[in-house]
Amino acid sequence: MDFQSKLLQNAVDQMGSLPGIGKRTALRLVLHLLNQKPQEVQQFSDAFTTLRNNINYCSVCFNISDADTCHICRNPKRDSSLICVVQDIRDILAIESTRQYKGLYHVLGGIISPMDGIGPDDLNIAPLIERAEQEDVKEVILALSATMEGDTTNFYLYRKLHSANVKISVIARGIGIGNELEYTDEITLGRSIQYRSLFENSLNN
């Protein structure tokens, strides 16, 4: 698309640089902004620069936080013997919404992905090892994506955490609740048979 206006072209290009936003959607969003009052557009733009320039991460778990430690790490009711390792803060929000987990978190900030040039040193792994070596930590739960990169990262963390005296667990993988066997892929189905659990254990839920 050729807009014949450099300002419009630039705005559409910037909007289209967001993941999952194509050129047509970008144009629709930019035209929406054009219909807003100038001060509203200013507020829109300022929200992102202010966030980016003033963002703070929890010094313990690397969750996004306006204070030095996040609301989860600060909460005395949470079980500090459990650390759940996640990729980013969206995963914290997803797990929190289940209301099933009362431990703490550790945000890695990504997963090991040589294809994208992300190695172990780019992630918050060293602080995790340090946390796991503290006396009161009993279990580290690996809750990363069930992808090859997730598995690689799990294995890397498993070896690194070996020296710490903690139990290392991984979230259950199997067929999703409400799914039919017929439509489950063979790898998931194979693993769900291999890692079957006692029926009487499933009655607790």
Chain residues binding a copy of itself by CB under 8 A are 1, 3-8, 10-11, 13-15, 17-21, 25, 27-34, 36, 38, 41-56, 64-66, 70-71, 88-90, 93, 97
The residues facing 169 across adjacent strands are 141
Q: Kindly report the CA angle at 146 between 112 and 20, in degrees rounded to 5?
A: 75
* Residue 17 or 202 with smaller CB distance to a copy of itself: 17
In angstroms, what is the minimal distance from the CB of 105 to a copy of itself? 12
In angstroms, what is the minimal distance from the CB of 95 to a copy of itself? 13
* Residue 69 or 188 with smaller CB distance to a copy of itself: 69
In angstroms, what is the minimal distance from the CB of 22 to a copy of itself? 12
A 10 A CB-CB count for 76 gives 5
In angstroms, what is the minimal distance from the CB of 43 to a copy of itself? 7
Alpha helix (H) ranges present in the chain? 6-16, 23-34, 38-54, 71-74, 89-96, 125-132, 148-160, 186-194, 199-202
Helix count (H) and strand count (E) of the chain? 9, 4
* Residue 61 or 170 with smaller CB distance to a copy of itself: 61
In angstroms, what is the minimal distance from the CB of 199 to a copy of itself? 35
Asked whether 30 and 11 are in contact (CB, 8 A), the reply is: yes
In angstroms, what is the minimal distance from the CB of 25 to a copy of itself? 7
The values of phi and psi at residue 64, to 5°, are: -70, 135
* Residue 54 or 194 with smaller CB distance to a copy of itself: 54
Asked whether 51 and 42 are in contact (CB, 8 A), the reply is: no
Measured CA to CA, the distance from residue 156 to residue 122 in angstroms comes to: 14
* Residue 51 or 187 with smaller CB distance to a copy of itself: 51
* Residue 21 or 189 with smaller CB distance to a copy of itself: 21
